[in-house]
């Protein structure tokens, strides 16, 4: 194990499969573990999980509070052996600077604009089938695809496949049934994490449209299913915008909600530039009929995992997970690397990862 405890700061989504999974591996590898509850949610879930772990003697400590108040202790304390962070780039940049200055071992997964490129493509039925699934969890996941980069001459065919598919999305509350004997309604997504996040997304969409983005689709509350008197302030109905302006956060940043943007391109160089708009991402996909075109273009897409016409994700346990550019810093994880990232191996061992100045931390 490392000389000091492993410090975990994670986003609110996937508290069990990301945060608790990681801290249990860290503890079972021999480390004491500290975890901070995310500011936006997960307190009840994480409190119960950590209480059960502590009851079994697992050395886990859960703390709660703002990142600004706790980051000095959880990131800069000399006693900390490793910092594991999952979250946005603004906060992540400060953490990355601190751990680099201190020479601490670190695992920093940060947001990236995951993109889906369309180039010389004709299998529109397969694309239409996958579009609704891309809205799972309201696109509140690090491997969501909120950006389509489309060859201009294929835009009409793309819309003919995309729009009917996105219009099938059903939003609402799973208990909003019309009669007591009705089955639960089949829904595709519920609310975003908070009313504040919903307002942020609504404001970003309005600002982008004011600055020239073209709204192609807006979901309607009239088509949603809610309980009588239900507070719906945290709901965002799916929205699709064409060509968000460069001044908009929707042009270069991950919205983390059910907001799609489409960018049109005319050349392969423009395709790659648009797919790399956020200087690195976790996943990307390129849909093209020609395998040789995919093989030629895919290495230039700055995403850690790139799929040929299929969505990529964190993958199975034996597969590395990481990002390119600003979407990841430090050790890559997955499979045995979850253990290697928080233990000391043989002398001279190097961890695979994305460390500053291309240095692989021992």
Domain limits, the chain: 6-110+317-358, 115-308
- Condensed to tens digits (0 to 9), the pLDDT of residues 173-207 reads 988 876 667 666 678 999 999 999 999 999 999 99
Joined tokens for residue 240: 């699709």
- Per CATH, the number for 6-110+317-358 is 3.40.605.10
Q: Are strands 259-265 and 6-9 parallel, antiparallel or unpaired?
A: unpaired
Q: Is 120 exposed, middle or buried (0-12, 13-18, 19+ CB in 10 A)?
A: middle
Distances (CA, A) of 159 to 151, 165, 198, 309: 12, 10, 26, 17
Question: Residues 227, 173: contact at Cβ < 8 Å?
Answer: yes
Cα–Cα distance between 312 and 254 in angstroms, integer? 16
Q: What dihedral angle (degrees, nearest 10) is formed by the CA atoms of 77, 80, 81, 85?
A: -100
CA atoms within 13 A on the CB side of 157: 15
What percent helix, strand, coil does the chain show, rounded to 5?
A: 35, 20, 45
> The CATH number of 115-308 is which of 3.40.309.10, 2.60.40.10, 3.90.226.10, 3.40.50.620?
3.40.309.10
- Condensed to tens digits (0 to 9), the pLDDT of residues 52-89 reads 999 999 999 999 988 778 888 999 999 999 999 998 88
- Condensed to tens digits (0 to 9), the pLDDT of residues 296-324 reads 999 999 999 999 999 998 876 667 888 88
What's the mean pLDDT in 141-169?
97
Cα–Cα distance between 283 and 333 in angstroms, integer? 15
- Condensed to tens digits (0 to 9), the pLDDT of residues 218-277 reads 999 888 999 999 999 999 999 999 999 999 999 999 999 999 999 999 999 999 999 999
pLDDT band, residue 114 (cuts 50/70/90): very high
């Amino acid at each position: 194990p490392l000389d000091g405890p492993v410090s975990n700061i994670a986003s609110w989504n996937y508290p069990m499969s990301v945060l608790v999974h990681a801290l249990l591996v860290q503890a079972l590898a021999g480390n004491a573990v500290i975890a901070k509850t995310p500011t936006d949610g997960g307190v009840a879930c994480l409190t119960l999980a950590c209480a059960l772990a502590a009851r079994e003697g697992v050395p886990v400590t859960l703390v709660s509070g703002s990142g600004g108040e706790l980051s000095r202790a959880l990131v800069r304390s000399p006693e900390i052996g490793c910092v594991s962070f999952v979250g946005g780039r603004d906060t992540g940049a400060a953490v990355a600077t601190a751990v680099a200055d201190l020479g601490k071992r670190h695992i920093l997964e940060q947001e990236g604009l995951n993109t889906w490129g369309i180039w010389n493509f004709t299998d529109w039925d397969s694309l239409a089938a996958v579009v609704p699934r891309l809205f799972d969890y309201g696109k509140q996941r690090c491997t969501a695809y909120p950006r389509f980069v489309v060859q201009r001459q294929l835009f009409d065919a793309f819309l003919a496949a995309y729009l009917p598919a996105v219009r099938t999305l059903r939003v609402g509350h799973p208990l909003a049934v019309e009669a007591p004997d009705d089955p639960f309604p089949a829904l595709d997504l519920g609310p975003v994490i908070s009313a504040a996040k919903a307002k942020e997304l609504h404001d970003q969409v309005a600002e982008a449209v004011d600055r020239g983005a073209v709204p192609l689709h807006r979901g309607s509350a009239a088509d949603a299913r809610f309980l009588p008197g239900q507070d719906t302030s945290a709901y965002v109905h799916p929205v699709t915008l064409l060509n968000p302006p460069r001044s908009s956060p929707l042009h270069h940043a991950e919205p983390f909600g059910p907001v799609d943007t489409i960018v049109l391109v005319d050349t392969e160089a423009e395709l790659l530039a648009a797919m790399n708009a956020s200087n690195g991402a976790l996943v990307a996909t390129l849909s093209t009929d020609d395998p040789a075109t995919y093989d030629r273009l895919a290495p230039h897409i700055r995403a850690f995992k790139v799929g040929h016409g299929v969505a990529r994700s964190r993958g199975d346990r034996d597969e590395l997970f990481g990002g390119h550019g600003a979407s990841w810093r430090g050790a890559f994880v997955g499979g045995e690397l979850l253990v290697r990232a928080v233990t000391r191996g043989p002398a001279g061992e190097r961890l695979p990862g994305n460390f500053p100045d291309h240095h692989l931390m021992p």
